[in-house]
Structure 1
Amino acid sequence: MAEPESTEHRTETDRIPADEPPSCSSLTTKELQQNWREVKKRERPVRLLFEIPSTRIIEHVLSKHVVYEVVVMRSGSFDSRRVSVERRYSDFLRFHHKLLEEFNEELEEVVFPRKLLSRNFCPELISERRLALQDYLAKLFATRCVRYSPHFPKFFTESEQKRAHSLLRAGQFQLAVKDLQTVLEVEEKLLPWQNPTLIVPTLSALAVCYRDLEQPEQAFAAAQRALPPTRRYGLKRYRASLLDLLVDLGYQLGRPVAQLQEELTVLRDAERGEVSSRSLKELVVHEFT
C-alpha cells in the first residue's frame, strides 16, 4: 500500500498562492464575519452628506443677513476633501421654489424651514434653522428626481461659477482659480448623479486661467481632462477649442501632439461650418454672463 504523498513533494500548482484568500473552511466564524463586513463595506453605495456646521452674520450699513456654511462630502469612505460653500436663507428659498415648479408632487412631504418674521438673529433660532436646512438638503438628496435634476448642482455651484467668470473677464485669474477649484470639487462629488459633461465648462475655465497665469502644465492637465467627455457626448464647440489649446500647449511643453492635431483637422474637415472656430478663452468668457 502506497504511503500518502508528503506535502514536501507537492508541485507549485498544488500550493495555494500566498496572495489568495484562505478558503471558507479554514476560517473561524469570527474571521468569516469580519470578511463579510469588509465585503458589505465595499459594496455600500456612496451617498452625499450635507452638513451645516457654522453660520455667520454679515452686516452692511443698512442691512444684515445670516450666511450658512454648507459642507458637501461623500459617505462610504473617509472623505478628506470636504468642500464648502456659503448660502443665505433666501438662496435656499429660491432653490426650493424652482424645485416646486418641476417636482411639486414629489416634494409634497419635504418640509422647507419656515421664514422667520422676527428674531432672525437670535442665536437659538439661527441654530435651529441651521439644523432644519441641513435636514432639508438630506431629504432632497433622498428624492431621486431632485438628485438627478440639473437644479441640484446649480444650487451648490452657480454663485461661485458666476463670480469666477466675472473675475476671469476682469483678468483676475488667480482669484478666479480659487472659486473654480471649489466648483470643480463640488461637481466631482455630484458626478455619479449628474451628466459627466458637468465639469467641462469648469475645467475649460481653469485651463484658460492657468494659461494666462503662465502655468502651462496645469492648463494642459485641465484641458486634457475635459477632452474625453466632450468627445463622448458630442460637445463640438468645446472639443475643437480644447484640441486647439492642447496642440498649442503641447508644442510649448514638448509633448507629442500629432494625434491631437490630426483629430482637430478631421473634426473641422468633417463638420466644416458646424464646429466653433473660436478659441477656448472666447468660449469661456461668454459663459455665465
Structure 2
Amino acid sequence: MTENNAGLGMNQDLETLVDDEPDTRLEQGTLSFNESPGVHSQASAYIRSWAKVPRGVMAQDVVTNSNGVDEEVCAYPVLKFEVVSARTVDLENEKKHVAYTVMVRKDGAVQDPHPAVIERRYTDFLELYESLKREFPTLMNNVTFPKKVILGNFAPGVISERSAGFEGLLEHAVREQKLRESSSLTEFLQGREQREARRWMEAQRYDQAVPLLENSFRLLNKIHTDRHPAVMLALCQLVACSHADPTSATPERFADLALHRFEAVSDVDLLQFYVPLLQLCVRLWWTLGRDKRPLEARLNDLKRRGHKVDGCLSLLEAVMTKDNFSS
C-alpha cells in the first residue's frame, strides 16, 4: 500500500510526529495521583495527573573515555521500566494495598521526553508472572518474583524490594520476543486503561478517554515496532476518539501519523481500518481547509480494486467493536 506524502498534504516530518508532543517528562518521586469524581476506576485520574506534573531533570549516566571526554552510556534507545512512586490505597470497596506507578521510557542519546505510565498492584504483577511462567516455563526459569508476606506489606523495605522485582520482570518480558508478544503482557500493560476508555467512549465522554488511549499508544509504541498490529490498533483508537472529542487539539497530528504508517501495512486485519481512516481524514481535512482530493482519489482507487468503500463503519464504530477493543 503506497501513498505519496506530498499528495496527502503532509507538511511535517511524520517519522518524528510522536516526538513532537509537549514535553511531559516526570521528576522521579514527585507523582501524586488523586481520585476525580465520577471516574470508573483510578486510571483516568492518574493519567491526567501525570500529564500535569512539572518537567523534572533526571540523572543521566555518563562514562569517561580515554580522552577524558564524557559520553552517554546509551548510544541507542534502551527500553526502561522504573517504579517511580508507590502509594497506599485504602478505599471502602477495596482491600488496602500498595499501588505502584511504573514509568516506561526509551532512553538513548537523549532521554525519552514522553514516558508512559501505568499503575498496578502486587497482585497484578503476580498474575503476569504466573501467566508467563505457565505459558513459557523455560523462558521464565531464571526469573525470581518477590514473595508474598503475611505482615509488613507497607514497609519501605518490602516496597523497595518488590519494586526492583517488578522492574526486572518487565525488562525480562520485553527482551524475549515470545514474552513480549504474549497476550498476558499486553493485558497487563493496557487492559485496565482500555476497558476504562471504552466505558468513557460508550458514555460519549471522549475527553476522558483520550488521555488513556494516548498513554496506551505511547506505551505500546515503545515496546513494539511502529506498524505492529497492537500499535496500529491503539493509534486508530486514538485517532477516532480524538476526532470525536470537540476539545481535542490532536486529531490532525495523529491522523497524519496513522495515514503515514498505513502506507506500508499489509496485515489484512488492520486493513479494515484503512477505509474508515481515509473517510475520517477527508472530513477532517475539509474542516481544516486542507486538500482532501488525494484522499478521495485513494478511496476511489480502492473501490476500483474491489475494496468495500460505501456503507462502511466509521472508524469510531470499527474500533469500538468487541474484537477490536479490550472487553
* TM-score, length basis structure 2: 0.68
Check if 1:47 corresponds to 2:85.
no
Deviation of 1:185 after TM superposition, in Å, equals 1.9
What corresponds to 2:287 in structure 1?
A: 252
Classify the secondary structure of the residue corresponding to 2:132.
Answer: helix
Q: Is residue 269 of structure 1 aligned with residue 304 of structure 2?
A: yes
When residues 273 and 76 of structure 1 are mapped into structure 2, their CA distance, relative to the original with a 3 A threshold, is closer
The equivalent of 2:92 in structure 1 is 61
Q: Name the stretch that deviates more: 76-85 or 178-187.
A: 76-85
How many correspondences in the alignment?
256
Check whether the contact 1:242–1:280 (CA below 8 A) recurs between aligned residues: yes
Question: What CA distance in whole angstroms lies between the structure 1 residues aligned with 2:101 and 2:66?
Answer: 43
Give the deviation of 1:120 after TM superposition.
Answer: 2.5
Q: 3-state SS of the aligned residue for 1:232?
A: coil
Q: Secondary structure at the match of 1:183?
A: helix
2:129 to 64, 87, 96: 96
Kept in 2: contact 1:110–1:140 (CA 8 A): no
Q: Which has the higher contact order (CA 8 A, sep 6+)?
A: 2
Matched residue type, 2:188 = F
Out of 171, 185, 190, the residue aligned to residue 223 of structure 2 is 190
For residues 140-162 of structure 1, give each alpha carbon's deviation from its aligned partner in whole angstroms, at most 9, with x where no partner exists. Answer: 33434324545434422222122
- Structure 2 residue corresponding to 1:205, chosen from 231, 237, 248: 237
Q: Alpha-carbon deviation of 1:108?
A: 0.6
Q: Give 1:219 shift.
A: 1.8
Counterpart for residue 123 of structure 1:
156
* TM-score (norm: length of structure 1): 0.76
Note if 1:238 corresponds to 2:273.
yes
What CA deviation, in whole Å up to 9, does each residue of 1:243-281 have, x standing for no partner? 010111112211111111111122133234599811111
Q: Which has the larger radius of gyration?
A: 1
Q: Which amino acid aligns with 1:250?
A: W
Percent of pairs identical after alignment? 27
Determine the C-alpha separation between the residues in 2 that align with 1:206 and 1:275. 23
* Counterpart residue identity of residue 202, structure 1: A
**Preserved CA contact (<8 Å) 2:216 2:234:** yes
1:188 is displaced (CA, Å) by: 2.4
Whether the aligned pair in 1 keeps the contact of 2:299 and 2:309 (CA below 8 Å) is no
Deviation at 1:218, TM superposition (A): 2.7
Distance across 2 between alignment mates of 1:110 and 1:276? 51
Q: 1:260 to 1:273 in 2, by over 3 A?
A: closer
How far, CA to CA, are the matches of 2:277 and 2:224 in structure 1? 21
Question: Structure 2 residue aligned with 1:152, among 182, 185, 188?
Answer: 185
Tell which deviates more after alignment, 212-221 or 196-205: 212-221
2 CA distance for matches of 1:142 and 1:266?
Answer: 41
Matched AA of 1:262? A
Question: Any conservation in 2 of the 1:196–1:229 contact (CA below 8 Å)?
Answer: no
Closer/same/farther in 2, CA of residues 66 and 238 from structure 1, 3 Å limit: same
Q: Equivalent residue for 1:167?
A: 200
Separation in structure 2 between the aligned mates of residue 236 and residue 74 of structure 1, nearest angstrom: 29
Q: Does 1:74 align with 2:138?
A: no
Cα offset, 1:31, TM superposition: 10
Query: Is the alpha carbon distance of 1:74 and 1:176 closer, same or farther for their aligned partners in structure 2, counting shifts above 3 Å?
Result: same
CA–CA distance in structure 2, aligned partners of residues 217 and 174 of structure 1: 11
Name the CA distance, whole Å, in 2 between partners of 1:188 and 1:159. Answer: 18
d(CA) in 2 for partners of 1:67, 1:121: 10
- Name the CA distance, whole Å, in 2 between partners of 1:285 and 1:243: 17
User: Cα 1:197–1:142, aligned 2, differ >3 Å: closer, same or farther?
Assistant: closer
Q: CA-atom RMSD, angstroms?
A: 3.0
1:228 matched to which residue of 2? Answer: 260
Q: Shift in Å at residue 116 of structure 1?
A: 2.3
Shift of 1:86: 0.2
How big is the shift at 1:215?
5.4
2:261 corresponds to which letter in structure 1? P
Q: Higher helix fraction: Structure 1 or Structure 2?
A: 1
Deviations 1:189-215 (A, max 9, x none): 2234x7533332222222233323335
